[in-house]
Structures are given as C-alpha cells and as structure tokens.
Amino acid sequence: MDFLSYDFMQRAMAAGLVTAVVCPLIGMFVVVRRQALIGDGLGHIAFAGVMGGYLLGVYPTAAAAVVTMLGAGAIEFIRRRHAHHADTALAIMFYTGIALAVIFSSMARTPGTNLLGVLFGSILTVTVQDLGLIAVCGLVVAATVVALFKRLVLVSFDEEIAHVAGINTAFVSILISVLTALVVVVGMRVVGILLVSALMVVPVAAAHLLRRGFLATMALAVAFSVLAVAGGLTLSFYLDIAPGGTIVMTAVAVYLAVLLAAGRGRMTGAARSCSGAAVPAGDKQGDQ
C-alpha cells in the first residue's frame, strides 16, 4: 500500500471511494426504472457545464453540477409530459449538450489536456477543493437515499401504485433524476463523463446476477463498485495506465466473474434437481 503514501493518491482514493459508494446507490434505481443510459445523457450535459464554466471563468465542477441538475429536471419533465416521444426529445437534448460543449471549449480556447480529463477522468489531479465538493455531493446523495429509501423503491417499482399510496411521484422521480445528475458530477473527475454511467450500471448489473432482494442487491453492488475502484486505481498505479479506463475494466471483470459464478451455481442446482436430490418443501411452488 506504499502508493497511498503520496498525497495525490490519497486524494484520488478518497474521491474514488466516495464515487464507488454513491454510483451504485443511485444506479440501483436507474437500472430498475430501465433508464440505464440516462447517466450517459447527463454526462453529455455535464460536459457543456464544464466547458461553460471554463468560458465564464467559474469553478467548472460547480458549473457542471448546476447545469446537469437543470438538465435532469428537464429530462424528467419531458419524460412525464411527452412519454411517447421521450427518447427522441432526450436524444436531441443530449446532442445539444455535447454541441454546446464543443462550442464553449472553442470559445474558451480550452487546452486539449483539459478536454481529455473531462471526457476520460483525471482522478490523479483531484484537488482538495474537488474532494470537498465530491464529499458534499456524495453525502447529499447517500443521506437522501437512506431517508427516502422505501419511497424511492416504491416509485421505481410502480408509479401508479405509489401515487395511489399517497406519494408525490412527480417529486420523487425528479429527485431521482437530480440525484443521478449529482452522481455524474461526482464521478466525472474519477472516470470521466464518458465512463461515469458504467459505475452506475455495471456493479448493479453484476449484483443483479446473484438474484437477491433489493437491499441485498444494493449492498452487493456497492461492494463490487468499491472493489472495482480500489482495485482499478491500484492496478493503474503499478501498471502506469489510465486510471478511469482501468477502474471501469475492473468493474467489467467483476461482472464477468460473477456471471461465470452465477451460471455455474445455476447449473449445479439444476443438476442436483435432475438427479433427484431432496428439494426443500418451501422450494416447491403450489399453484404454478
């Protein structure tokens, strides 16, 4: 662990671990609502925010946070008002985000290295100021998920049932979108806006393969995500390769390992059933 003796690596690990926890926390809701690609879309909008920040001379991460949350609110508004054309409208919005980013970056004469850092992450250059913002955003996301956990689950399960149960589903849906935007901003420095969605989706997809309940799946997703970020950052240091890509590839490797293990587990279970081994009474389904 001698690599953690460097200040920049300590900051990188701290920022990475906050990101590792909050990405799957909100990713669970995004995935079960079948909005797995919304993180990608919000990343495009965040890109415009960062470049706008450079242009106006304000702190780019804070500019990205404001623009991405506004974009998330707009996306949810379009989804609720124009459900039938929502995907087209959202695609137009995402293209607008990336087009504005390109225009802003040319107007601000942003150096190419800064652009690459935003697109693919620059976790090793995380400053104390960045770490503070990442920690505050992460705390807001985690506290909101804990406080409203059951409401978030019910709205993600069925909006009609949640509405009849007296929940303000419009507010909760907008909240999920805004929290997703905050997570995009948190992950932007760690893996970049092009890969931040991967940390929201891949650990959750791996946890889904183990077929547990909601809370257990969420806990597994966080564990896989922490493993991917800590493992990926360590690997990238010793192999001297890009940390963002290494973190995401570690997450993909975890997913593949779980896929193999889950598949082997199912095959073993099926073989045991076929060979006539005792099946617990509770496993037999009465009226199937």
Partner 1 sequence: MYDIKLTDVTYSYGDNTVLRGLSMAVDSGEFIAVVGPNGAGKSTMLKLVAGLLRPDCGQVTVAGRTADEARAAGDIGYIPQNFARNIADFPATVAEIVALGLVSGRKKNISRDAARHIVAHMLAMVDLEEYRDRRVDELSGGQQQRVMVARALAGNPRLLLLDEPTSGVDFDTSTKIYGLLGDLNKSLGITVVTVSHDIDKVTRWASRVACINKGLCFLGDCAEFRRVHAREPHLLYYSG
Task: Write the interaction track for partner 1 spanning residues 205-244; mark x where CB under 8 A is met and - where it is not.
Answer: --xx--xxxxx-x---------------------------
Considering beta carbons, is residue 127 or 273 the nearer one to partner 1?
Answer: 273
**Which of 1, 5, 146, 160 is in the footprint of partner 1 by CB under 8 A?**
160
Residue 216 and residue 197 in contact, taking contact as beta carbons nearer than 8 Å: no
- Report the C-alpha gap between 213 and 276 in whole angstroms: 28
Binder of partner 1 out of 17, 89, 140, 153 (CB under 8 A): 153
The b/e string for 146-158 (b: 16+ C-beta within 10 A; e otherwise) is: eebeebbbbbbee
User: Which residue lies nearer to partner 1 by CB, 59 or 157?
Assistant: 157
Rounded to a whole number of angstroms, the minimum distance from the CB of residue 217 to partner 1 is 4
Counting contacts by CB under 8 A, is residue 288 touching partner 1? yes
Question: Which is nearer to partner 1, 175 or 207 (by Cβ)?
Answer: 207
- Enter the DSSP assignment of 258: H
The answer to whether the CB of 50 falls within 8 A of the CB of 101 is yes
Burial of 57 (0-12, 13-18, 19+ CB in 10 A): exposed
166 binds partner 1 (CB under 8 A): yes
Q: What is the DSSP letter of 166?
A: T
Contact status: 278 vs partner 1 (CB under 8 A): no
Among candidate residues 180, 181, 187, 177, the one with its CA nearest the CA of residue 134: 187
**Which residues 98-137 are close enough to bind partner 1 by CB under 8 A?**
none
Nearer to partner 1, 164 or 241 (CB): 164
Residue closer to partner 1, measured from CB, 109 or 284: 284
Nearest distance from C-beta of residue 283 to partner 1, angstroms: 8
Q: Between 1 and 146, name the residue whose CB sits nearer to partner 1.
A: 146
- Give the binding range for partner 1 (CB under 8 A) out of 65-73, 128-136, 148-156, 271-279: 148-156
User: How far apart, in whole angstroms, are the C-alpha atoms of residue 286 and residue 77?
Assistant: 44
Q: Per CB under 8 A, which of residues 24..43 are in contact with partner 1?
A: 32
Judged by CB under 8 A, the stretch of 119-127, 204-212, 245-253, 257-265 that binds partner 1 is 204-212
CB closer to partner 1 out of 211 and 272: 211
Residue from the set 163, 227, 252, 253 that interacts with partner 1 by CB under 8 A: 163
DSSP 3-state assignment of 277?
A: coil
Triad 273, 279, 283: Cα angle to 5°: 110
Task: Give the side-chain half-sphere CA count within 13 A for 20.
Answer: 26
Query: DSSP per residue over 76-138, as a string?
Result: HHHHHH-GGGHHHHHHHHHHHHHHHHHHHHHHHT--HHHHHHHHH--GGG--HHHHHHHHHHH
Determine if 165 is a binding residue for partner 1 (CB under 8 A): yes
Give CA–CA dist 44/175, Å, rounded.
19
84 binds partner 1 (CB under 8 A): no
Q: Out of 73, 151, 223, 230, point to the residue binding partner 1 (CB under 8 A).
A: 151
Which residues would be at the binding site for partner 1 (CB under 8 A)?
Answer: 32, 150-151, 153-154, 157-158, 160-167, 207-208, 211-215, 217, 281-282, 285-288
